[in-house]
């Protein structure tokens, strides 16, 4: 065989046997809102993707999963670390090659003009967009300006920003374009594409987190824009009610992946998510597959967004496909809306546009109709509609602005020859606007009261109304005039019901302060001459509205506190960017908090500069020493020049005082002490927090007394006395309490004791007697004449009558330390708990709810917080204690604003 022939033969063999074994290429995208979702709900599919031959895997973590903490803690970083560990764990299982270790390629990449954090590891990439956690119901969290994916998708907010300030997305379209750019830049060219996301069908996937649902809906939009994407839609939380369907190695991999995830949190000193709540989802993967369609994606843009009546200037909408149409003509449906009226303001459109074979777009021309009517600028909105053979992408709507050259000539009677309606006397109703001022030409309604109404055709700022009634024989009329922009909601602008002056040929002129109106109604209530009411002519004067911006207010940070200082924020919003001179907005301040003493006083005005749309007012609490309940700051917008007030027109910021009467730990610690004359060692040794057998107060010979001043009146719940101990000696004593240090009441009688002292001391539970001073009368020591106290502890709550506004103290205690609720019940156990063992919470619910659990130390500092999704009935959740300090803790549970707090002691 010749050399050339051998070469051809070898190439043929390669083609026959080598290429025949090439596996089809796949790009799998796992889309989750939180960094620890895919491990529970999309495994072992994620594992098989990681291990897939010729498969690229993209993990998109849409939100930071910060749980409302924003960047105030590193909780979101711990969750991210958990996801990265899980990816590495799966990649390194069942492999005969050396592991890559923890060294992932970390880069900050620019995508669609936004910075996004990216990690790479073998065939996997992980992106973290760090958008704010939207809370279970989609309402967001105050630290993140209450932003959420749900609000962005539904249009409640127009933009959303990352919690770390690295990026801000100006719209839903901007976010979806960024996600699409990530996928298209990472995917294997010409590969099949699978998107894995939460199922948005609430019948299949009920009671899921809002971030799960709306991250899925967003990515389904992206899938439509890309085209040809297979969707795997997963049941999430609801799988805990389903049977296990993952077994064998797949189960082991799923459990190991979750364990790796949990270690990322616990190694960062956060709660390990390896608990009964999360583990209930292990071994359960339920999803359905939606096959792709390969239809083109249709979008619309206003390629000429301005149109005018005279001189005639058309506007243009362009409807585009994502690629050139290579098949049959694509007929795209659309609907029209906006303030302009089809057929009178512009030529009516057909509702469809056809994109022929070989073309990628079609245009729709908007042609204005030139009329003589004075009218404001209007808009024309085109919205794409569903149809056969295409998918709707984003943007799916576009707007053209239509301007009129017609103006209101000063002195023009806006009511002349306009349509009228009446309650009675329809045959003569139009005579009141026909311009004929003849006493025999009038509208008549009988008997009074009757009403007459005119439609001006557009909304105007009304400056003057002239009403000419029938006149003669000294008759007078009584009436009022109302204005409306919609024909339904009315405002009285003239009240002439007290009139007794006879009507004349001059009529009655009423100058107004430019109320906006399209409809004007005259309620004719009385005629002094007979039962009929009559209008000869009705005139209205004014101009097109001045388009003043509408002002609203929101509490974008509705919670403030004294210490640690946390400011609150009111945001004043315009409905459009201020393109004129700086705009000064007036407001008033109310609420239970006092400006100047509870918070820094505000000026009463805020100016929004040119080019801006919002302004912020910061509520800065003043840290005082008064004990006081939570208070409110209420801001209400006031009228002023150059703007109108919309809704909401008021908002509330709550101020939390750190000087409340919290349940406390050892209230005797470091307090002032005194003792009787036989003292041998310092009496302060008994409250210095040192439990050494060599550190004690002592005096001899017995009896002797020792006393402590708590500094305030407390309702005492428990006393603990630690005496010197050696396994043999015992002490006998009694304890008294006093409000004034002079008059004493017995609290404890331990004079019959014969049990030897030990290192646990003696604990005495009390029924909340009130005392400021506590005295221990040491009466006997079985070993020698000396008496000794190593440490003395007292526990209780500040008496509600002590401090400012005792009546308010009671209501605050009921609010903040409420131990019952109509909505749910709470138990915390064991109490006391041992350090290192979890605190358990038993929560009985009437419905499925989301709960926020917080733990505070004795100083009011939050030391832990965690969110749980709970089911109807009894739930048991755990809070680890291995990084708490021993002592008194407060466990606070918040379910939809219903708060219960419980005290627990950690030994």
- SS percent in the chain: helix, strand, coil, step 5: 15, 40, 45
Residue in 898, 819, 789 with CA at minimum distance from that of residue 851: 898
User: pLDDT at position 497, please?
Assistant: 97
889 Cβ contact list (under 8 Å, min separation 6): 839, 855, 856, 857, 858, 863, 903, 904, 905, 906
Question: How many other CB atoms are found less than 10 A from the CB of residue 648?
Answer: 13
User: pLDDT at position 882, please?
Assistant: 62
> Class of the 24-290 domain?
alpha beta
Adjacent-strand bridge partners of 892: 854, 901
Residues 5-26: pLDDT tens digits?
A: 544 444 444 444 343 344 579 9
Cβ burial of 480 (10 Å; 0-12, 13-18, 19+) is middle
Q: Which CATH number fits domain 550-556+567-651: 3.40.190.10, 3.30.300.180, 2.40.50.140, 2.60.40.2030?
A: 2.60.40.2030
Within 13 Å of residue 342, how many CA atoms lie on the same side as its CB? Answer: 13
Tokens 């050494």 locate to 692
User: pLDDT at position 820, please?
Assistant: 56
Contact indicator for 828, 904 with CB cutoff of 8 Å: yes
Query: Which of 191-205, 263-277, 714-728 shows the lowest per-residue confidence on average (mean pLDDT)?
Result: 263-277
Residues 449-501: pLDDT tens digits?
A: 999 999 998 888 899 999 999 999 999 999 999 999 889 889 899 999 999 99
DSSP string, 52-92: -TTEEEEEEEEE---TT-GGGSSHHHHHHHHHHHHHHHHHH
Q: Which CATH number fits domain 672-798: 2.60.120.260, 2.40.10.10, 3.20.20.140, 3.40.190.10?
A: 2.60.120.260
- Residues of CATH 2.60.40.2030 domain(s) within the chain? 297-403, 550-556+567-651
Q: Which of 456-460, 765-769, 873-877, 890-894 has the highest mean pLDDT?
A: 765-769
Q: Which fold has domain 420-543?
A: Jelly Rolls (2.60.120)
Express as a percent the part of the chain with pLDDT over 70: 89
Which has the higher per-residue pLDDT, 397 or 662? Answer: 397
Q: Which of 466-475, 660-669, 846-855 has the highest mean pLDDT?
A: 466-475
Say what angle helices 75-92 and 248-266 make with each other, to 10 degrees.
Answer: 150
User: pLDDT at position 817, please?
Assistant: 43
Q: Which fold has domain 297-403?
A: Immunoglobulin-like (2.60.40)
User: pLDDT at position 376, please?
Assistant: 66
Residue in 882, 886, 883, 889 with CA at minimum distance from that of residue 904: 889
Average per-residue pLDDT for the chain: 85
Tell me the C-alpha distance between 840 and 885, whole Å: 17
Tell me the C-alpha distance between 115 and 768, whole Å: 59
Residue in 83, 278, 246 with CA at minimum distance from that of residue 91: 83
Mean pLDDT of the region 396-411:
75
807 Cβ contact list (under 8 Å, min separation 6): none
Q: Is the pLDDT of residue 818 over 60?
A: no
Contact indicator for 121, 87 with CB cutoff of 8 Å: yes
DSSP string, 104-144: -EEEEEEETTEEEEEEEETTEEEEEEEEPP--TTS---GGG
Contact indicator for 875, 895 with CB cutoff of 8 Å: no
Name the pLDDT band for 402 (thresholds 50, 70, 90): confident
Mean pLDDT of the region 512-523:
91
Residues 722-780: pLDDT tens digits?
A: 999 988 899 999 999 999 999 999 999 999 999 999 988 999 999 889 999 999 999 99
Mean pLDDT of the region 114-134:
94
The kind and range of the H/E element at 50 are helix 45-50
Residues 417-430: pLDDT tens digits?
A: 999 999 999 999 99
How far from chain centre, in Å, is Cα 870? 20
- DSSP class of 14: I
Tell me the C-alpha distance between 807 and 800, whole Å: 8
Residues 148-207: pLDDT tens digits?
A: 999 999 888 889 999 988 899 999 989 999 999 999 999 999 899 999 999 999 999 998
- Residues of CATH 2.60.120.260 domain(s) within the chain? 420-543, 672-798
Return the sign of the alpha-carbon dihedral for residues 746, 752, 757, 760: negative
Question: How many other CB atoms are found less than 10 A from the CB of residue 711?
Answer: 12
DSSP string, 198-250: E---TTTSTT--HHHHHHHHHHHHHHHHH-SEEEEEE--GGGGGSPP---HHH
Q: Is the pLDDT of residue 803 over 50?
A: no
Main-chain phi, psi angles of 27, to 5 degrees: -115, 120
Contact indicator for 195, 223 with CB cutoff of 8 Å: yes
The superfamily (CATH) of domain 817-906 is Macroglobulin (MG2) domain (2.60.40.1930)
Contact indicator for 162, 181 with CB cutoff of 8 Å: no
Residues 554-580: pLDDT tens digits?
A: 988 888 887 667 888 999 998 887 765
**3-state SS, residue 179:** helix
Q: Maximum CA pair distance of the chain?
A: 132
Name the pLDDT band for 98 (thresholds 50, 70, 90): low
Tokens 């990649």 locate to 91
CA angle 452/454/458 to nearest 5° reads 160
Alpha-carbon distance values, 269 to 74, 163, 273, 884 (Å)? 10, 21, 12, 10
Tell me the C-alpha distance between 623 and 299, whole Å: 55
Contact indicator for 115, 72 with CB cutoff of 8 Å: no
User: pLDDT at position 814, please?
Assistant: 31
């Amino acid at each position: 065989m010749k050399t050339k022939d051998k070469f051809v033969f070898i190439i043929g063999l390669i083609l026959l046997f080598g290429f025949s074994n090439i596996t089809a290429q796949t790009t799998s995208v796992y889309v989750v809102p939180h960094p620890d979702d895919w491990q529970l709900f999309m495994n072992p599919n994620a594992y098989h993707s990681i291990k897939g031959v010729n498969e690229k895997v993209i993990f998109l973590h849409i939100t930071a999963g910060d749980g409302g903490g924003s960047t105030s803690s590193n909780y979101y970083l711990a969750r991210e670390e958990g996801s990265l560990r899980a990816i590495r764990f799966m990649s390194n299982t069942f492999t005969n090659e050396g592991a890559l270790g923890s060294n992932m390629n970390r880069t900050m990449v620019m995508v669609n003009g936004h910075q996004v954090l990216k990690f790479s590891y073998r065939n996997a990439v992980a992106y973290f967009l760090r958008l704010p956690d939207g809370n279970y119901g989609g309402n967001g969290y105050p630290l993140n300006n209450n932003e959420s994916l749900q609000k962005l998708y539904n249009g409640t907010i127009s933009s959303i920003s990352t919690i770390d300030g690295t990026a801000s997305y100006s719209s839903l379209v901007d976010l979806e374009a960024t996600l699409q750019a990530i996928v298209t830049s990472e995917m294997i060219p010409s590969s099949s594409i699978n998107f894995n996301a939460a199922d948005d069908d609430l019948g299949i996937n009920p009671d899921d987190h809002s971030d799960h649902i709306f991250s899925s809906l967003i990515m389904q939009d992206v899938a439509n824009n890309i085209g040809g994407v297979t969707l795997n839609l997963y049941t999430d939380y609801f799988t805990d009610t389903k049977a296990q369907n993952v077994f064998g190695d797949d189960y082991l991999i799923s459990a190991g992946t979750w364990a790796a995830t949990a270690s990322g949190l616990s190694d960062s000193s956060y709660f390990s998510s390896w608990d009964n709540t999360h583990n209930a989802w292990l071994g359960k993967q339920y999803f359905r597959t939606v096959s792709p369609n390969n239809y083109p994606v249709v979008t619309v843009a206003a390629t000429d967004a301005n149109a005018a009546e005279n001189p005639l200037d058309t506007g243009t909408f362009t409807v585009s496909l994502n690629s050139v149409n290579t098949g049959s003509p694509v007929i795209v449906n659309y609907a029209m809306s906006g303030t302009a009226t089809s057929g009178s303001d512009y030529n009516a459109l057909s509702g469809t546009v056809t994109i022929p074979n070989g073309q990628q777009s079609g245009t729709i021309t908007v042609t204005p109709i030139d009329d003589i009517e004075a009218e404001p600028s209007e808009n024309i909105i085109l919205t794409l509609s569903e149809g056969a053979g295409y998918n709707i992408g984003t943007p799916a709507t576009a707007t053209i602005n239509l301007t009129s050259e017609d103006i209101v000539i000063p002195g023009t009677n806006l009511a002349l020859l306009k349509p009228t309606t009446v309650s009675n006397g329809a045959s003569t109703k139009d005579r009141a606007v026909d311009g004929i001022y003849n006493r025999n030409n009038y509208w008549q309604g009988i008997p009074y009261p009757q009403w007459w109404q005119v439609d001006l055709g557009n909304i105007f700022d009304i400056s003057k109304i002239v009403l000419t009634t029938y006149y003669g024989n000294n008759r007078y009329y009584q009436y009022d005039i109302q204005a409306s922009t919609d024909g339904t909601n009315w405002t009285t602008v003239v009240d002439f019901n007290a009139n007794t002056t006879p009507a004349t040929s001059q009529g009655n002129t009423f100058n107004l302060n430019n109320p906006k109106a399209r409809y004007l109604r005259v309620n004719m209530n009385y005629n002094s001459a007979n039962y009929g009411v009559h209008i000869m002519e009705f005139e209205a004067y004014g101009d097109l509205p001045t388009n003043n911006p509408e002002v609203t207010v929101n509490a974008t940070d509705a919670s403030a506190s004294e210490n640690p200082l946390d400011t609150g924020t009111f945001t004043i919003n315009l409905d459009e960017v201020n393109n004129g001179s700086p705009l000064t907005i007036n407001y008033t301040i109310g609420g239970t908090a006092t400006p100047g003493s509870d918070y820094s006083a505000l000026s009463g005005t805020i100016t929004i500069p040119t080019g801006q749309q919002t302004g912020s007012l910061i509520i800065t609490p003043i840290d005082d020493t008064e004990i006081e309940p939570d208070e409110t700051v209420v801001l209400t917008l006031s009228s002023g020049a150059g703007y109108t007030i919309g809704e909401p027109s008021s908002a509330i910021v709550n101020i939390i005082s750190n000087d409340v009467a919290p349940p406390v730990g050892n209230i005797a610690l470091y307090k002032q002490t005194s003792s009787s004359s036989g003292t041998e060692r310092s009496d302060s040794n008994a409250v210095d927090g040192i439990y050494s057998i060599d550190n004690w107060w002592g005096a001899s010979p017995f009896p002797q007394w020792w006393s402590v001043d708590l500094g305030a009146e407390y309702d005492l719940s428990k006393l603990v006395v630690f005496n010197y101990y050696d396994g043999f000696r015992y002490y006998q004593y009694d304890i008294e309490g006093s409000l004034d240090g002079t008059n004493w009441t017995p609290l404890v009688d331990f004079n019959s004791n014969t049990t030897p002292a030990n290192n646990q001391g003696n604990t005495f539970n009390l029924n909340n007697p009130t005392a400021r001073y506590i005295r221990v009368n040491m009466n006997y020591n079985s070993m020698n004449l000396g008496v000794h106290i190593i440490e003395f502890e007292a526990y209780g709550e500040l008496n509600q009558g002590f401090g400012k506004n005792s009546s308010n103290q009671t209501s605050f205690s009921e609010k903040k330390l409420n131990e019952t609720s109509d909505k749910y019940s709470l138990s915390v156990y064991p109490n006391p708990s041992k350090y290192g063992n979890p605190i358990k919470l038993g929560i009985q619910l009437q419905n499925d709810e989301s709960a926020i659990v917080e733990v505070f130390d004795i100083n009011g500092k939050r030391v832990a917080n965690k969110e749980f999704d709970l089911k109807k009935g009894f739930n048991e959740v755990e809070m680890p204690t291995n990084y708490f300090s021993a002592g008194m803790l407060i466990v606070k549970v918040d379910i939809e604003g219903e708060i219960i707090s419980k005290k627990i002691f950690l030994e």
